[in-house]
Amino acid sequence: MRSHPGDGSLSGSSSLTSKEPSRYNLGLFHQYLKSRYDRALYMKNKSIGILTKPKFPEIRNTLLDVVTWLRARSIGVILDTTSAALLGEQGGVQKTQLASKADVLLVLGGDGTMLNAARLAGERSIPILGVNMGGLGFLTEVRLENLYPSLERVFANDFVLDERLMLQTHIHRHGETVARGVVLNDVVISKGTLARMIEVKISIQGQFVTNLRGDGVIVSTPTGSTAYSLSAGGPIIDPAVQSLMMTPICPHTLTHRPLIVPGTAEIEITLTSRDDGAMATLDGQVGVAMVQGDTVEIKMSEHRTRLIRFPESGYYEVLREKLKWGDG
């Protein structure tokens, strides 16, 4: 029997296949079966919040089918107002309340919807199962055709939780915090619409690092290393590595290269140039206009995004599939 993290599998010298198992081994085996049954029953008694991207053409039919399937199995379903409207149902909760009321989030969409789910989960860090209805899909674990077998496995407790590092961000202006947020992928400080550079001052752990001129800078998690940072020339970092990464965007000085720092590091980026339109963008979804002197403080969050994964699907397999490694 292969052991998976958190599944309570027995391992070691005790064998469950002995022809004459001892009373001790039988006792362990019965405890193991009861544990699996109890946790599967516990999972089935939980409620599932569903988050969708309503612009997908097939989303209504998919949503209707999955809600019907879950309710037929007495699984509590919580819909946000948008999803409820798609099905013609009354009620629904605000997206900001979805994670506070549900025990698991089911995401029908792409990576952008997954990032939204990660922000909504916030402090509760409830498990998230992503179903890819978009394009590349680094974060979404399940293909649409495998949705129902995957849900069956979740209810049978046949999954692992992949905990991903998140960033805590505060934006300070004249000594006051004007914005804050927790992100899974990245924080981007960038120029406005005009084709002119911005200048920022970067410090790590209170120590001055550099003044950077260019189109901006990306501070990302290992999860975010396959997003905007990768397009800007940053490396791919295994999500198990507890680190942060800074990637310059089109730097004026070509010797400015991506920099990987420990996950415990605190990064401060101050906008020193006077440029209208400079922005701090959190996970590509929330934008905060910046003015000269604003400081973005970024550090590892105490919270984690918990993604539902299946043991046979490894990170390098995902990279190989999504980036087409070995093709051609």
Confidence of residue 55 (pLDDT cuts 50, 70, 90): confident
Domain total in the chain: 2
Q: Are residues 232 and 256 in the same domain?
A: yes
Residues pairing with 168 in the sheet: 182, 299
For the chain, what percent of residues have pLDDT higher than 90? 68
In a domain? residue 3: no
Is 211 in the same domain as 130?
Answer: no
Q: What is the pLDDT of residues 76-110, one digit of tens each?
A: 999 999 999 999 998 899 998 999 999 999 999 98
Domain hosting residue 298, numbered range: 165-303
- What is the residue type of 193? T
Phi, psi of 9 (to 5 degrees): -65, 145
pLDDT(31) > 90: no
Q: Where are the alpha helices (DSSP H) in the chain?
A: 23-44, 59-72, 81-86, 95-101, 111-121, 147-155, 228-231, 315-322
pLDDT in tens, 230-250: 999 999 999 999 999 999 999
Do 94 and 128 lie in one domain? The reply is yes
What is d(CA 25, CA 105) in angstroms, rounded to the nearest whole number?
38
- Residue 7 in any domain: the answer is no
**72: domain CATH number?**
3.40.50.10330
pLDDT digits (tens, 9 = 90+) for 262-317: 999 999 999 999 877 899 999 999 999 999 999 999 999 999 999 999 988 888 98
Judge whether 25 lies within some domain: no
What's the confidence (pLDDT) of residue 3?
Answer: 37
Which range has the worst mean pLDDT, 1-15, 170-184, 212-226, 296-310?
Answer: 1-15
Inside any domain, residue 136: yes
Q: Is 111 a residue of the active site?
A: yes
Catalytic choice (65, 103, 111, 162): 111
Q: What is the pTM of this model?
A: 0.83
Residue 298 lies in a domain: yes
pLDDT at position 235? 97
Mean pLDDT of the chain: 86
